[in-house]
Structure 1
Amino acid sequence: MQAEDGRFDPSGSVTHAELVQIVAKALKRDMKSVHYWAEPFFSENDSTTRGEAAFLLDKARQAIPSANAKITNVRALNAITLIVTFDAPLTPENEAFAQAKEDFVFTNGLTLTNMPRLKTGSVATYIVPTSVQQPGTTYTLAYKGKDAGSFAGNADKLDMTEVRQVANDTFELEALKANGVVDYGYVISAYSAGRGENAFILDENNRADGVEYQIISSGQAREVTITPEGGQPITAKYVPFTQSTDGKQEPKFRLPEGQVLKPGVTYTVTSDWAQIANPTFVAKEMDPLHIVKAEAASETSIVVTLAEDPGDELFSGRSVELTDAEGNKRTAAYKYSSRKGAAGVFELAQGSKLTAGATYVVTPVGNWAGESKAELTFAP
């Protein structure tokens, strides 16, 4: 609890806002969800009655995580997303991807592609990403070895508006909330505090403000096909942590290592999980990002600064090489979501450390930053 002037007042009345804060902290649950539960009586400064407290505490009791949670309902929302309701929330250990992959077992080759995510405002309903479902195929789900129900593969593809090139080897698919499509990052409990005004709550029918939304679940392991005019199809893979950044819904996809988009060539992007309204673009010459500075953050990480803010997660999936005066080399990979403006953190490969007093030349691995380079000296 937080107390004014650090003093606890056992005889004072508790406001609705204070009760919501107490419940959220006790449950380790996001404030937006608890506020949603309290909406029938909530007013920022009004005092809480015993009845109101009992109502919210009963809701909170239902939302206590359980290692023995059981599935009560499962349905396919779209070609890559399930909505799964439990009788209690999962524990953090059971939500973790490695454990969830063991717990969620599907028939007919369907697989879990990332961890289940609790919907904001729900007690125990999860957005569950899967590999692409086949229309007309019946899938059975077993959870922790017990039958949890069956569902038919969903043919609904996600509505994406257009494709845009963002680098010489990377492009993005745009989806718009205005078109009734929302990335799951804006409607899950785990992210609600960090998404600010972009975070909101969908009801049990995935509606908000009278609009029913399609949900884009995790992009992990997603692929699309990009075909140059007159050429052979190429498989492009999702770039992690790029699907909803800077308030936009524009997941990035990258060509295989060493391949680039050829200026002047028309490309068409297709997918078995997305319907793209404007799927073609003409590739153009794009200047690579340019490294201007590198600094040691610790013996195992460095901060790389570009000439200008890329305005998105274009660092994602990139690496740099550090070469000392004797020619010894170390590799550091970008730490996802660490970018602040033009600077991003790169972590050295496990077991590798910078040497005190050594000077390193930092260069990009591949052509993502051209021939640019920077120099740093590690002085712990």
Structure 2
Amino acid sequence: MHFKKRIIPAVLAVSVLSSGIVTVHPTVEVEAASKHITAQEKKQQEARINKINVLNTMTLQITFNKPLAAEDVDPNNLENIKKQFKFNHGMSIVNVPRLKTGAKSTYIVPVTIQKDGVKYKLSYKGQRVKSFEGTDQKIDFRKTQQVTNDTFEIESFLEDGVTDYANIIEAYRAGRGDLAFELNNRNRDENGKHFDIISSLRDRVVTITGNNGEQFVANYVPFTQAADGRQAPKFRLPAGQTLKPGVTYKVTSKWADIGNRTFTAQYIAPLTLQSAEAIDNKTFQIVLDKDPGMELFAGRSVQLKGEDGSVLQAQYRNSSRKGAVGIFDMTNSTLKPNVKYIVVPLNNWATADSVFLIGK
């Protein structure tokens, strides 16, 4: 019996036959290999960690083999960036890496509080694990003092060998003026002076305890750690709480060693709102009766009560203060054209005697 030969094109796949014979699509093999090569190439192109230096209990200095991609240092991408840094012992980064001024690929990386002597491991984007030993070394601050009835500050000084990271990172260099300078890999300046670095204080807290038995966890007020040419980050009591005049308070922290850590509270008059003017339907400016001389608008909100019965809310735009003027952004609605609103500061941070604005 003679059988005719049958030619089957190589690109055709043979299905699983009843006889149990299986063949594979050559095209599928090629596609899979191509995807594998692409993934491999992409992984090889990613920046890799060369070295980790522990600067203090909340700060790492990490040197990569090349600069990080723009999206890997974008503050708007923080939640995704956090996932790229995989630590053990529950550690995580708290803000994006910041390239040091004058460096090619060395970054200041703020992390959650370390434990002294603990062996930490870090894998960046799933790459080979790097290890470092945790420290409980704190940053030296010289003093603390009250600034409003619910807010106080802790202050450090360059002359004490302490610098805020804003002074030594590339991202802020243009805006720091004479305060900007460079540190080498050992964090020494051109004269050989060593500096400890205050990294991002995002989500940081301190504890404040009064001699009357009161104790509060005070939260860092964003964008105040290097404002007004000072290294004096502000911390605020929980909403509705105030410092009691005559009570002596002590400030303590897991990450700051404060030389003069006590102050006796006194009554401080709230700021006074003088006027308000709409910029557009989402933004307006508030003018105080005088320049407060420091960033006291930070974290503050106002309520707007319209003559049409509407009740709106706006929040201060961080770092927008120019002297006595600060910009506020609407948070839950827009201003209606020609509607008159009375401005009411929330939580008594300021007084406003019949301060109105007209919507645009």
TM-score category, normalised to shorter length: 0.7 to 0.9
TM alignment of 1:169-248, pairs within 5 A: 169-208=150-189, 209-248=191-230
2:4: which partner in 1? none
Identify the match of residue 155 of structure 1 among 136, 141, 149.
136
Q: What stretches of structure 1 move > 6 A for 4+ residues in a row? A: none
Distance, in Å, in 1 between the alignment partners of 2:196 and 2:327 is: 34
Q: Percent identity, aligned pairs only?
A: 47
> Does the CA-based 8 Å contact 1:71-1:148 persist in structure 2?
no
Aligned AA (1:161)? R
Aligned AA (1:207)? R
What secondary structure is seen at the aligned counterpart in 2 of 1:146?
Answer: coil
Identify the match of residue 251 of structure 2 among 269, 273, 289.
269
User: How many Å apart are 1:371 and its aligned residue?
Assistant: 4.9
User: How many Å apart are 1:170 and its aligned residue?
Assistant: 0.3
> Does the CA-based 8 Å contact 1:220-1:238 persist in structure 2?
yes
Distance, in Å, in 2 between the alignment partners of 1:164 and 1:224 is: 13
User: How many Å apart are 1:67 and its aligned residue?
Assistant: 6.7
Distance, in Å, in 1 between the alignment partners of 2:329 and 2:354 is: 17
What secondary structure is seen at the aligned counterpart in 2 of 1:333?
Answer: strand
2:112: which partner in 1? 131
TM-score, structure 1 length as denominator? 0.81
1:278: which partner in 2? 260
1:13: which partner in 2? none
Distance, in Å, in 2 between the alignment partners of 1:140 and 1:249 is: 32
What secondary structure is seen at the aligned counterpart in 1 of 2:137?
Answer: coil
Aligned residues: 313
Distance, in Å, in 2 between the alignment partners of 1:371 and 1:311 is: 19
User: How many Å apart are 1:148 and its aligned residue?
Assistant: 3.9
Deviation string 1:112-131 (CA, Å, 9 cap, x unpaired) is 11111100000000000011
Identify the match of residue 73 of structure 2 among 72, 95, 119.
95
Distance, in Å, in 1 between the alignment partners of 2:272 and 2:341 is: 17
Distance, in Å, in 2 between the alignment partners of 1:148 and 1:177 is: 35
Deviation string 1:14-57 (CA, Å, 9 cap, x unpaired) is xxxxxxxxxxxxxxxxxxxxxxxxxxxxxxxxxxxxxxxxxxxx
Identify the match of residue 82 of structure 1 among 51, 54, 60.
60
> Does the CA-based 8 Å contact 1:320-1:365 persist in structure 2?
yes
User: How many Å apart are 1:140 and its aligned residue?
Assistant: 0.5
* 1:291 and 2:273 are equivalent in the alignment: yes
The 10-residue stretch of structure 1 (324-333 or 184-193) with the greater mean CA deviation from structure 2: 324-333
> Does the CA-based 8 Å contact 2:316-2:327 persist in structure 1?
yes
* 1:359 and 2:337 are equivalent in the alignment: no
Deviation string 1:173-217 (CA, Å, 9 cap, x unpaired) is 000100000000000000000001100000111001220000000
Distance, in Å, in 2 between the alignment partners of 1:338 and 1:212 is: 33
User: How many Å apart are 1:99 and its aligned residue?
Assistant: 2.5
Deviation string 1:324-370 (CA, Å, 9 cap, x unpaired) is 112211100011011111111110015x1111111111110111003
Q: What is the alpha-carbon root mean square deviation over aligned residues?
A: 1.3
TM-score, structure 2 length as denominator? 0.85
User: How many Å apart are 1:372 and its aligned residue?
Assistant: 4.2
Distance, in Å, in 1 between the alignment partners of 2:245 and 2:47 is: 53
Identify the match of residue 315 of structure 1 among 297, 306, 322.
297
Distance, in Å, in 2 between the alignment partners of 1:349 and 1:288 is: 23
Deviation string 1:240-277 (CA, Å, 9 cap, x unpaired) is 00000111100000000000000010000000101000
User: How many Å apart are 1:145 and its aligned residue?
Assistant: 1.5
Contiguous gaps of at least 5 residues in structure 2: 1-43
What secondary structure is seen at the aligned counterpart in 1 of 2:82?
Answer: helix
What secondary structure is seen at the aligned counterpart in 1 of 2:186?
Answer: coil
What secondary structure is seen at the aligned counterpart in 2 of 1:207?
Answer: coil
Bigger Rg, structure 1 or 2: 2
Contiguous gaps of at least 5 residues in structure 1: 1-65
User: How many Å apart are 1:378 and its aligned residue?
Assistant: 2.0
> Does the CA-based 8 Å contact 2:217-2:237 persist in structure 1?
yes
User: How many Å apart are 1:90 and its aligned residue?
Assistant: 1.0
2:359: which partner in 1? 378
Distance, in Å, in 2 between the alignment partners of 1:258 and 1:211 is: 44
> Does the CA-based 8 Å contact 1:162-1:279 persist in structure 2?
yes
> Does the CA-based 8 Å contact 1:72-1:148 persist in structure 2?
no
Distance, in Å, in 1 between the alignment partners of 2:294 and 2:119 is: 39
Distance, in Å, in 1 between the alignment partners of 2:79 and 2:301 is: 25
What secondary structure is seen at the aligned counterpart in 1 of 2:101?
Answer: coil
